[in-house]
Structure 1
Amino acid sequence: MTKILPTLLAAAALAIAPTVPALAKDAAAPTAAPASAPTEASQDGKVRIFFDNDFLGPGQSNIQSMIPLLRDPRVDLMGVGVVTGDAWMTEETQHLLRFLEIAGRTDVPVHAGAKMPLLRTQAEMANWEARYGRIPFKGAWSTPRPGRTYHPEDPDLVPPMPEGMPSVAVADTGAVDALVSAVRQHPGEITIVSAGPLTNIALALRVAPDIATLAREIVIEPGKLDTALGRATGNTDYSTDFNFLFDPEAAHIVLTAPWKRITLVGNVSSKVKVTPEVAKRIGKAGTPVATYFETYARLGQPLWDEITVAVAIDRSLVTEELVVRMDVDTMPGMHYGEPQVWKDDMAPNAGERPVHLILGIDEARFLKDFIAQAQQ
């Protein structure tokens, strides 16, 4: 664990300003793609990525999102940070290390990050639910149930791993220090990709606020909008923006930092799912990664994080986007942790930044490329 994490929580809390909740119904006119990509690029043409995620495992969207990062020849993966979210950070780290062994990529450095959100606690979330209604999926705080190994009261427990325990260890450098170092060593070249709660990124901004202007861009997956009907009529878990809800203050810090570009892959990340046909097609390749995918992929689950990574690597996948102002509500109440968006002239100008909200991608090309990568 990075040495600086325990000393930052109080400072981060003091720096958080309440967010004015509002929602624009006509934020701006969508633009056709291909959407414009950041102007900076690495000298060797590589897409240099530092990836931060909550790696619930084995399989599923979190770990499966590593596949494009490991197999796409355009990617220079600078490091991977792990943050508590869908599961506890300690357990997630073990699942990720084991997957990297199976994929033959133990050269990728894995950095342990935050074990807890900046301010939100399990007790506070339970009190919120008592007032405003149940949150169906609570990640590491989820109630144990048959077929799932949640252990909300034991952050350091690693339940038996069906894929086997890893024989490699986590890097000595923590996730926050590793992220700051990568961005400063490669100014204008690092794309930060976050597909879990934004705790590690927020802490990095508090240690080194200059990373916002030194990074090429940040690509984020959550930010689902207008999902109330989906929560009532469809899969409630899949219509709840867990990443923001788990650490709203971290999301606020990240969304109001002066990045050169913020790209948010929200609702569109739910449009392509793991079907039995996709799992069988990948599994037929018989490679270690293909077999792992077919064995542990959750059928019917959207390819949330995989799509986010693919957009970060290849912006030409985007077919439609919308530029909005966005923040997360951090005020006590029913909408705590929800994203809020405005068109430019309606924003409260309380630090919110322009966000490139991805509305559409070339789903067929994404799936074709992902299947080919997973078969390797």
Structure 2
Amino acid sequence: MEKQKVILDVDTGTDDAVAIMLAALSPDVELLGVCSVNGNRGIDFTTENTLRVVEYLGLQDRIPVYRGCSLPMVSTLTPGRRDGIPATGEMDSNNIHGDYVELPPSTIHTQPEHAVFWLIDTLMKSDGDITLIPVGPLTNIAMALRIEPRIAQKIKQIVIMGGGYKEVNITPSAEFNFWVDPEAAKIVMDSGCDITVVPLDATHKAVLSLADADALESSGTPAGKATARFIRHRQAGYKVWQPMADIDTVPIHDALAVCAVIDPDVLQNVVHTYVDIDIAGGAADGMSICDVDKRYKDKQPNACVALSADKDRFSRMVKEILC
């Protein structure tokens, strides 16, 4: 079977790191490149972390890394709308990410071209066969769409880790990635592309356990050992910050989006619906409004939204690819 051509767009912390390893090591994926963006941490940190993962895997000659946007499109411009990034919740919790992933410092460098312009150039030269997997704020993708709208017709699919139907994390109404740059999220959602959203509702179902970490570590592979370390690190943080129903488990949000491209059946209760993003700057700023009940009679569906996921399938995929 022909490999799926994929571009990852990441704000690399621990879950992004697992997503990169899955995409890089899956026999079903051709990872064309990885773009960094501001998000979990500032762009210097997320770029360095991305380089660390690629170099740790020994794939620096095969997988180029491109540095992307250092700030959201507009959300930091209005006084009081954002009190600085990082601000609250997961962004500000060293228990979840920390500034640097626990891998050796990189000795490699990013490509000279900016991520946004590389995205445009690569997509415009493609045969429309590239899937984008953005698992951080959508700034790079939205900027590319604004600069060259024709790329919308050249994107095979966008599989987004972001948003939440009922689950939230950064505010009482919003998920982190969409909250950081809601204007970018709205631009992407309104682009007309074939979009699948993997929200917190799904990622909180597809958790990994401490037993999974033990299995990954016992495999002895570099990716397995690193992922085991990240699972344990995240579980300790989530146990304090946002405990799961099973205290020994933790979501690896971004990894699920990659698995969904490899095997869409890992997602469950997928609803084709209209999704809007609140950009008003108030209490619901960054909220993903998923019209699951079809109350907007004049709105056509613009995305498939996964409301659940297959935990066992997800765990099995992670171990098969990384062990």
TM-score (norm 1): 0.73
Structure 2 CA distance, aligned partners of 1:308 and 1:336? 24
1:111 aligned onto 2:66 = yes
Which residue of structure 1 lines up, in the alignment, with residue 89 of structure 2? Answer: 137
- On the 8 A contact 1:257/1:353 being kept in 2, the answer is no
Q: Any gaps of 5 or more consecutive residues in structure 1?
A: 1-43, 129-134, 151-158
1:315-338 deviation digits (Å, cap 9, x = unpaired) = 233343111111101113211110
1:52 aligned onto 2:52 = no
1:318-369 deviation digits (Å, cap 9, x = unpaired) = 34311111110111321111011335572554xx752111133332122112
What amino acid sits opposite 1:90 in the alignment? D
What amino acid sits opposite 1:294 in the alignment? A
Which residue of structure 2 lines up, in the alignment, with residue 212 of structure 1? Answer: 152
Written as runs of structure 1 = structure 2, the 5 A alignment for 1:82-97 is 82-97=36-51
Which residue of structure 1 lines up, in the alignment, with residue 218 of structure 2? Answer: 284
Distance of aligned partners of 1:120 and 1:201 in 2 relative to their CA distance in 1, 3 Å threshold: same
What amino acid sits opposite 1:328 in the alignment? I
What is the aligned residue count?
302
1:78 aligned onto 2:27 = no
Tell me how far 1:374 sits from its aligned partner.
1.8
Tell me how far 1:148 sits from its aligned partner.
7.1
What amino acid sits opposite 2:153 in the alignment? T
Indicate the SS of the match to 2:289: strand
1:216-270 deviation digits (Å, cap 9, x = unpaired) = 1111111201237xx7xxxx789950011110111111110121x1111111112
Which residue of structure 1 lines up, in the alignment, with residue 287 of structure 2? Answer: 338
What amino acid sits opposite 2:59 in the alignment? R
Structure 1 CA distance, aligned partners of 2:171 and 2:216? 26
Which residue of structure 1 lines up, in the alignment, with residue 204 of structure 2? Answer: 270
Indicate the SS of the match to 2:250: coil
Q: Any gaps of 5 or more consecutive residues in structure 2?
A: 236-248
1:278-302 deviation digits (Å, cap 9, x = unpaired) = 1111001112222222233322430
Highest RCO, 1 vs 2 (Cα 8 Å, sep ≥ 6): 1
Which residue of structure 1 lines up, in the alignment, with residue 239 of structure 2? Answer: none
Which residue of structure 2 lines up, in the alignment, with residue 188 of structure 1? Answer: 128
1:121 aligned onto 2:61 = no
- On the 8 A contact 2:174/2:288 being kept in 1, the answer is no
1:168 aligned onto 2:108 = yes
What amino acid sits opposite 2:311 in the alignment? E
1:356 aligned onto 2:311 = no
Structure 2 CA distance, aligned partners of 1:48 and 1:362? 24
Tell me how far 1:163 sits from its aligned partner.
2.5
- On the 8 A contact 2:134/2:160 being kept in 1, the answer is yes
CA RMSD of aligned residues (A): 2.7
Indicate the SS of the match to 1:124: coil
Distance of aligned partners of 1:170 and 1:296 in 2 relative to their CA distance in 1, 3 Å threshold: same
Indicate the SS of the match to 2:275: strand
TM-score (norm 2): 0.85
